Amino acid sequence: MRGKDGPAVLMADDDVEDCMLATEAFEASGAAGAFSCVKDGLELLEVLSERAGSVAEELPRLILLDLNMPRKDGREALVEIKAEPALKHIPIVILTTSREGRDMTFTREAGANSFITKPDTFDEWVQIMKSLAQRWLAE
């Protein structure tokens, strides 16, 4: 975790390589703010509830959520965040390898803001981060 104010983007993904790629791509995109990773849904919820309890400004402005994770997967985490009044306003973008229609339907109905399949090239990663920053982090 970087910066005292907490990250602008918080990514939950058990895949360390993807986390690295996303961080690299976020920096390469030139977007402002910090980017941070947690490794599963449980950790994500711990971080979020801790911040919500202390200083609300430290809550992330965007959550990137993988679906298939150990301990607590993205679907459960999504449902729990959206059920928590202090957290439900944070936009959540699903970033996964899945292309399953039922995953898209489920997450949309559960309140996810967008659904992105992980890209094959680094250029695409950068492109995705750029548009996410424009859409969700712009003042």
Partner 1 sequence: MATSPEFMIPRGRFWQSIRGKIVLLLLVLLIPTVLVQAYSFHDQLKASRARELQANLELARAVAKTFESFVQDVLHQELAIGLAITSSRPMVPTDIMRLLEKSQQGYATVRDFSWVEPDGVFRHSSNPTMLGRNNRDRAYFRDILSGRQWTVGELVKARTTGKPVFGISRGIRDESGVLLGVVVATISPEQLDSVLSVERGKGGGLALVDHKGMLVYRYPAIDVSWEEREWLRQYPEYVEVFKGKEITASVYAGYEKRRRLVGFTPISSIGWAATAGRTEEVAMAAITSTLLTQTVIFLVINLAAFGVALLLSRSISIPLKRLRDHALAIGRGQGGEPAPAVGPAELRELADSFNSMAETLRSRETSLLEAQRRLAAIMDSIADGFYTLDREWRFTHINDAALAYFGKTREEVAGRSILDVFPGVAGSVFETAYRRALETGESQYLEAASVVTGRMIEIFVYPGPEHLTALFRDISERKWMEEELRRSRDELERRVLERTAELVNANKQLGEKAALLDLAHDAILVRDADEKLVFWNRGAEETYGWSESQALGKPVRELLGTRFPLPWEEIKATLLKEDGWEGELVHTAEDGRRVVVNSRWALQRDGSGRPVGTLEINRDITGRKKAEDELKAYAERLALINQELEEFAFVASHDLQEPLRKIKTYGDLLQNRCAPCLDDAGLDFLERMLRSADRMRRLLNDLLQYSRVAAKQEPFKEIQLGEVVREAANVFEQRAGGLIEIRKLPTIEADESQMLRLFQNLIGNALKFRGAASPRVRISAKCDHKGECEIHVEDNGIGFEQHYAERIFKPFQRLHGRDEYEGTGMGLAICRKIVERHGGNIRVESEPGKGSTFIIRLPVRQHGPEERH
- Do the beta carbons of residue 39 and residue 68 sit within 8 Å? no
Q: Say how many C-beta atoms besides its own lie within 10 A of residue 74's C-beta.
A: 29
Residues near partner 1 (CB under 8 A), total: 12
Select the span of 32-40, 104-112, 115-123, 129-137 touching partner 1 (CB under 8 A).
Answer: 115-123
Residue 38 CA, chain-centre distance (Å), reads 9
Query: The sheet that has 35-38: what strands, in order across it?
Result: 35-38, 9-12, 62-65, 92-96, 114-117
Binding of residue 122 to partner 1 (CB under 8 A): yes
Question: Does residue 17 belong to the site contacting partner 1 (CB under 8 A)?
Answer: yes
- Is the distance from CB of 5 to CB of 36 less than 8 angstroms? no
Among 27, 30, 123, 135, indicate the residue that binds partner 1 (CB under 8 A). Answer: 123
Mutual angle of helices 74-83 and 41-53, in 10-degree steps: 20
For partner 1, which is the closer residue by CB, 125 or 136?
Answer: 125
What is the contact mask toward partner 1 in residues 75 to 114, using x (rule: CB under 8 A)? Answer: ----------------------x-----------------
**Which residues of this protein are in contact with partner 1, per CB under 8 A?**
17-18, 21, 24, 97, 118-123, 125
